[in-house]
Amino acid sequence: MPTLRTLKDLEREGLVTSDPRLSQVADGMAIGLTEEMLAQIDRRNPTSDPIARQFVPDVRELNVAPGELADPIGDEARSPIKGIVHRYPDRVLLKPLHACPVYCRFCFRREKVGPGAEALNDAELEAALGYIRARPEIWEVVLTGGDPLMMAPRRLTTLIEGLDAIAHVAVVRVHSRVPIVEPSRITDELVQTLRQRRAAVWLAVHCNHSRELTVASRAALTRLTEAGLPLIGQTVLLSGINDDVDTLDRLMRDLVSCRVKPYYLHHPDLVRGTGHFRVSIERGQELMRALRGRLSGLAQPIYVLDVPGGHGKVPIGPAYLGNDPDALSVEDAFGGRHPYPG
């Protein structure tokens, strides 16, 4: 079955009902739901299903609250040249395309991504590489988009080889949903494209719920790790999808069992029309505190927030040190508090 890309496709599968307001939602952001993810949806109650809620349009997306932004993490403000975001001195984002295998309704680039969205042409890609070559302080290049693994393997190979040829680039990090939501794309040719070179190639996989880790996606992750790729995991904390300790616990354990190191748990960004996905920071800290007492350190992600305006990520997890400078104390993983000599 091909990827579902229209409201009619979703109606046919019983995931939405006819509603003119949904047409407005679909006009504002692309639809994409792969066969792999469709198979994980509980059709008896799709409106509350944690997989369907990530990808199926919702009329609540028309509700734009004060403070919500079209560019919540400030990509535009930090983009010196097309396709490049330079937010930190030693690393850049490189966005070669804006297409994805699925379109997550909470995406912070929701107003940019889509199957018809513009990709960098050869001249623009060369200009982006030229920007990186000219700045020896750039140590890491993060390939994002869109989803870089939607590129043709030959074109992706050319891009990675171009980065590998820049002596001061030590790390190429690729961010992707593909191994999870469309694992059939993880072919031998694509694995060969991602093989280790002089620059270390890392793959960050995006996964928000254990049900996304299907038999096929687990096999794809195994194929990647057996080829020598280090894998890290990124998750967005989402209301009604994974904002309870048992769901997060299982997800982090399952990722580690797939040899994926949980990296970031993202606080949801201030994206226009996504208020129904957001949880409070206080709730996020409560969840992180609960995970600390029950999960191995290997399975602990860092809870982070992207500061609006392009000012980067900061950790916002709970504090364990008391704030009395005259009587320093520390809280253990189970809630007990203990004095500690300053």
Q: Percent of the chain having pLDDT more than 70? A: 99
Cα 83 from Cα 94, distance rounded (Å): 6
At 293, is the pLDDT very low, low, confident or very high (cuts 50, 70, 90)? confident
Is the four-CA dihedral 74, 80, 83, 84 of positive or negative sign? negative
Residue 1 lies in a domain: no
The 10s digit of each residue's pLDDT in 208-265 is: 999 999 999 999 999 999 999 999 999 999 999 999 999 999 999 999 999 999 999 9
* Strand duo 260-266 + 302-306: pairing: parallel
Of the candidates 271, 205, 274, which has an alpha carbon nearest to the alpha carbon of residue 57? 274
Cross-strand bridge partners of residue 75: none
Domain range enclosing 194:
7-338
Residue 275 lies in a domain: yes
Residue 2 lies in a domain: no
pLDDT at 323 over 90: no
At 196, is the pLDDT very low, low, confident or very high (cuts 50, 70, 90)? confident
Catalytically annotated residues: 87-88, 91, 100, 104, 107, 109, 269, 306, 313
Residue 72 lies in a domain: yes
Of the candidates 301, 186, 310, 285, which has an alpha carbon nearest to the alpha carbon of residue 253? 301
The encoded tokens of residue 58 equal: 């919702």
Q: Percent of the chain having pLDDT more than 90? A: 89
Residue 296: what are its φ and ψ, rounded to 5°? -55, 150
Which pLDDT does position 163 carry in this prediction?
98
Residue 304 lies in a domain: yes
Averaged pLDDT for residues 314-329 = 89
At 326, is the pLDDT very low, low, confident or very high (cuts 50, 70, 90)? confident
Cβ neighbors of 8 (< 8 A, separation 6 or more) are: none
Three-state secondary structure call for residue 72: coil
**CATH code, domain with 69:** 3.20.20.70
Q: Hey, what's the torsion of the CAs at 243, 245, 250, 251, to 10 degrees?
A: 30
Q: What is the mean pLDDT of the chain?
A: 95
Cα 230 from Cα 270, distance rounded (Å): 30
Cα 204 from Cα 207, distance rounded (Å): 10
Averaged pLDDT for residues 68-76 = 92
Residue 198 lies in a domain: yes
Cross-strand bridge partners of residue 206: 234
Residue 35 lies in a domain: yes
Q: Which residues of 312-339 are buried (b: 16+ CB within 10 A; e: fewer)?
A: ebeeebeeeeeeeeeeeeebeeeeeeee
At 128, is the pLDDT very low, low, confident or very high (cuts 50, 70, 90)? very high
Residue 189 lies in a domain: yes
Averaged pLDDT for residues 127-141 = 98
CB 169 within 8 A of CB 139: yes
Which pLDDT does position 118 carry in this prediction?
76
Cβ neighbors of 250 (< 8 A, separation 6 or more) are: 210
Q: How many domains does the chain have?
A: 1
Which pLDDT does position 341 carry in this prediction?
86
